[in-house]
A and B are shown apart, each in its own frame.
Chain A
């Protein structure tokens, strides 16, 4: 069945450094890839997304890249700040299909060291 693998499961970086989280998906029909940030006691928050007709998308300090051939996509956070500490989830879905649903990765706990 559909599967999304996410690495690493935990990541600790020095404040100001960059953080990279990588995901691989199995369903070649997937064409929408959102990233969510979940802080303690809150629901996941959509922070950026990318569609299969785009290779890269940036929003201030956050960027996402997609390699559809390799079925890889990655989240890049530059100039990390303490408020970036959270659990990040990648996901893949196939909007428009009769079986549309979002498949999530297992999450990455990102800690920013002051």
Chain B
């Protein structure tokens, strides 16, 4: 069974640009959540989607948004990038609601210059 796939693995963007990251969950998993990982803040919850609906959102500005498609694939978008958005963005999938076993992808390393 394939794991969680995130693309791209690495990304370099300029301040002010926008970026879209993609996540394909484990087959059959309907919950996809996103996390930002930085050395200073650790793993912080961004949002969770279940059956194309955002169920929960963390404390991030509105520049961070996401969506989920009918095949459970998810995308997250960050607009007007800031230097502080440089981080590893991780996607996790669960078979049902978030909070049961969640499996992470390898992440997308975003660098904003």
Interface residues of A (CB under 8 A from B): 32, 34, 36, 41-46, 49, 89, 93-107
Which secondary structure characterizes the binding site on chain B?
Answer: strand
Whether B11 is near chain A, meaning CB under 8 Å from some CB there, is no
A93, B100: Cα distance in complex, Å: 8
User: What residues on B are CB-neighbors of A96 within 8 Å?
Assistant: 97, 99
By beta carbon, the residue of chain A nearest B6 is: A43
A34, B107: Cα distance in complex, Å: 19
Asked if A107 and B45 make an inter-chain contact with CB atoms under 8 angstroms apart, the answer reads no
By beta carbon, the residue of chain B nearest A44 is: B104
Partner of B98 from the list A36, A49, A101 (CB cut-off 8 Å) is A101
Q: How many of chain B's residues touch chain A, expressed as a range?
A: 20 to 34
A101/B99 contact (C-beta < 8 A), A44-B43, A44-B90, A107-B42 known? yes
* Interface 0/1 of B24-62, CB less than 8 Å to A: 000000000101000000110100100000011010000
Interface residues of B (CB under 8 A from A): 4, 6, 33, 35, 42-43, 45, 48, 55-56, 58, 90, 92, 97-107
A100/B98 contact (C-beta < 8 A), A43-B106, A45-B104, A89-B43 known? yes
A98/B55 contact (C-beta < 8 A), A49-B101, A93-B98 known? yes
A76, B35: Cα distance in complex, Å: 26
User: What residues on B are CB-neighbors of A46 within 8 Å?
Assistant: 101-104
Which of B56, B99, B105 has the largest number of chain A CB atoms within 10 A?
Answer: B99
A95, B95: Cα distance in complex, Å: 12
The smallest beta-carbon distance between B4 and chain A, in angstroms, is: 8
Partner of A106 from the list B42, B48, B105 (CB cut-off 8 Å) is B42
A102/B99 contact (C-beta < 8 A), A42-B106, A89-B43 known? yes
By beta carbon, the residue of chain B nearest A96 is: B97
By beta carbon, the residue of chain B nearest A92 is: B99
A102, B6: Cα distance in complex, Å: 20
